[in-house]
Structure 1
Amino acid sequence: MPFGEYPYTIDDKGRVVMPPPFREFVEDGMILTRGMEGCLYVFPLASWRRVEEQLEGLPLTDAESRAFVRFFYSGANKARLDNQSRVSVPQTLRTFAGLDGDVIVAGAPGRLELWNPGRWEEAINAVQHTPPKPDLLANFVA
């Protein structure tokens, strides 16, 4: 499972170097898509297959489910690391996530996240100052 956060830069062509600890995680290819809180999710292909199964299991008759699938799935793009361990982020996803210049590459369970540094700070501060709901932590072992 990937963990940690790494500050990097996205170049003028929309490429970001994948931090060394994350390269093996996505070496067989990846799917980049819109994430929550304005970040991008990066799933290795094996994890993406499980995500697809979950999306396919959502009820087609439910408007909120359809909207979420549309949001998540229509933004998906397949990618691979190039010879310099960079991933190319499509312009539509860069615009969505506000990625221009600096970027935070962060690990998360089953995926990576690409963040605009300002949004990253806001997201971290929000959790730091507002503890999660008790039921969310019911099975958390520290």
Structure 2
Amino acid sequence: MPYGEYPYSIDDKGRVVIPPSFREFVEDGMILTRGMEGCLYIFPLSSWRRVEEQLEGLPLTDRDSRAFVRFFYSGANKARLDNQSRVSVPQTLRTFAALESEVIVAGAPNRLELWNPQRWDEAILAVQDDPPRPELLANFTP
């Protein structure tokens, strides 16, 4: 699993360097898509297949399910690292995540996340100031 957070720049062409400790995680290709809280998710292809199965399992007759699939799946873009270990982030996704010149590349279970640094700080402070409900962490033992 990838873990840690790394500040990087995003160049004028929308390319972001993937940190060395995360490169093996996505070396076989990846899917970039919209994430929650205004970030982008990067799934290695093997994890994306499981995500697709879950999305396909959502009921087509449920309005919320259709909306979530539309949000998540329509933003998906297949990508590979270039020779300089960069990934190209499409303009629509850069706009969604407010990625301009700086970006935080963060690890998470089964994915990477790309964040606007201000949004990242706000998200971290929000958890610090208002931790998750105890029942969500009932089986969590650090």
Instruction: Output the TM-score relative to the length of structure 1.
Output: 0.99
Alignment of 1:113-124 (within 5 A): 113-124=113-124
Which structure 1 residue ranges, 5 or more long, are not aligned? none
Partner in structure 1 of residue 125 of structure 2: 125
**Quick one: which amino acid aligns to residue 124 of structure 1?**
I
**1:12-46 CA-partner distances (Å, limit 9, x unpaired):** 00000000000000000000000000000000000
% of aligned pairs identical?
A: 85
**Quick one: which amino acid aligns to residue 81 of structure 2?**
L
**1:67-117 CA-partner distances (Å, limit 9, x unpaired):** 000000000000000000000000000000000000000000000000000
Partner in structure 2 of residue 3 of structure 1: 3
Alpha-carbon distance between aligned partners in 1 of 2:119 and 2:62, rounded to the nearest angstrom: 30
In the TM superposition, residue 131 of structure 1 has moved relative to its aligned partner by: 1.1
Alpha-carbon distance between aligned partners in 1 of 2:8 and 2:82, rounded to the nearest angstrom: 16
Alpha-carbon distance between aligned partners in 2 of 1:131 and 1:12, rounded to the nearest angstrom: 37
Partner in structure 2 of residue 55 of structure 1: 55
Where in structure 1 do 4 or more consecutive aligned residues deviate above 3 Å? none
Alpha-carbon distance between aligned partners in 1 of 2:56 and 2:97, rounded to the nearest angstrom: 25
Tell me if 1:12 matches 2:17. Answer: no
Partner in structure 2 of residue 95 of structure 1: 95
Instruction: Output the TM-score relative to the length of structure 2.
Output: 0.99
How many residues align? The count is 142
**Quick one: which amino acid aligns to residue 110 of structure 1?**
N
Cα RMSD of the aligned pairs, angstroms, is: 0.3
Alpha-carbon distance between aligned partners in 2 of 1:109 and 1:94, rounded to the nearest angstrom: 22
Which structure 2 residue ranges, 5 or more long, are not aligned? none
**Structure 2 residue matching 1:53: 3-state secondary structure:** helix
Partner in structure 2 of residue 68 of structure 1: 68
